[in-house]
Amino acid sequence: MSYTLNHLKTLEAESIFILREVAAQFQNPAILFSGGKDSILVTYLAKKAFYPAAIPFPLVHVDTEHNFQETIDYRDSLVKKLGVKLLVGSVQESIDTGRVAEEKGYNASRIRLQTTTLLDTIEKYKFDCCMGGARRDEEKARAKERFFSHRDEFGQWDPKNQRPELWNLFNGRMHVGENFRVFPISNWTELDVWQYLAMEGIEMPSLYFSHKRKVFNRDGTWLADSPFIPMKPNEKAEEQVVRFRTIGDITSTGATFSTASTLDDIIQEVASSRTTERGGRADDKRSESSMEDRKKEGYF
């Protein structure tokens, strides 16, 4: 017997360690669940970490209500299968109660509004820790994020003053009113995620696989034809064979032309891809530091 592990097993062991630290160090933690592959992975790893006990965290979905129906169907069936509690924070409610104002125009998006809803949801349920599926390889501001990321009483991230994180020792101490964001899959790349999902044979939402869909092109991004995105006069929907590399709010999730219909196909495609997955995300294209700015305000 040789005592070596492949990179996927090593990453799994690390992520499970983090999930258990969260359960041990916090009073009222939750998993932020977007319906995308990364939050599905975190949920799946949480099941492994605590089996045969139930996952000791609720899933929190900050819902823009601009969803793909497939995402909601998958979410609901997963919740049922795992017997985990689902809590929904509604952006629509934040708009209706005047906490935030809906953006106007063709590129209107509810991404930025999610921050207020998220912070309100944390406040409402008194979560002291929210876990997310963010990965450091996704985006340059995230490359500097800790596993245990401290947030002040306003939910803000202070990138210049982060706690050093040494060995496998994670410091979750805080004052009343502060909270933590924890990212159990920080060290995974997009390719690692797909390889692991294939190795484990995990069922994924249909949106990730090749399918026919009506899409239209805006500034180089193929967006789904949807009542939530008003088309400009010169834009026209056409049927294409596509899949989604990331799944988020429908208004900012770009489709890619693809015939990948299995997890193995996706691994091949990702391995040979020449653009990053967030390259299709309209929310990151707004400015060079849009993710960093959103994070400082309290975004995932």
Residue closer to another protein by CB (options 13, 102) is 13
CB of 41 to another protein, least distance (A): 14
Number of C-beta neighbours around residue 210 at 10 A: 19
CB of 116 to another protein, least distance (A): 22
Q: How many residues does the chain have?
A: 300
- Cβ(122)–Cβ(26) below 8 Å: no
User: Can you give the chain as a three-state secondary structure string?
Assistant: CCCCCCHHHHHHHHHHHHHHHHHHHCCCEEEECCCCHHHHHHHHHHHHHHCCCCCCCCEEEEECCCCCHHHHHHHHHHHHHHCCCEEEEEHHHHHHCCCCCCCCCCCCCCCCCHHHHHHHHHHHHCCCEEECCCCCCCCCCHHHCCCEEEECCCCCCCHHHCCCCECCECCCCCCCCCEEEECCCCCCCHHHHHHHHHHHCCCCCHHHCCEEEEEEEECCEEEECCCCCCCCCCCCCEEEEEEECCCCCHHHECEEECCCCCHHHHHHHHHCCCCCHHHHEHHHCCCCCHHHHHHHHCCC
Residue closer to another protein by CB (options 68, 188) is 188
Residue closer to another protein by CB (options 120, 190) is 190
- Cβ(259)–Cβ(241) below 8 Å: yes
CB of 146 to another protein, least distance (A): 9
CB of 75 to another protein, least distance (A): 22
Residue closer to another protein by CB (options 1, 101) is 1
CB of 55 to another protein, least distance (A): 11
Residue closer to another protein by CB (options 126, 160) is 160
CB of 95 to another protein, least distance (A): 29
Beta carbons within 8 Å of 36's beta carbon, 6+ residues apart? 133, 246, 247, 248
Binding residues (CB under 8 A) for another protein: these are 1-14, 16-17, 20-21, 23-24, 47-54, 136-137, 140-141, 143-144, 159-160, 162-169, 171, 173-175, 186-187, 189, 191-192, 195, 199, 267-268, 271-276, 279, 288-289, 292-293
Residue closer to another protein by CB (options 144, 286) is 144
CB of 7 to another protein, least distance (A): 4
Residue closer to another protein by CB (options 2, 69) is 2
CB of 28 to another protein, least distance (A): 16
Residue closer to another protein by CB (options 16, 108) is 16
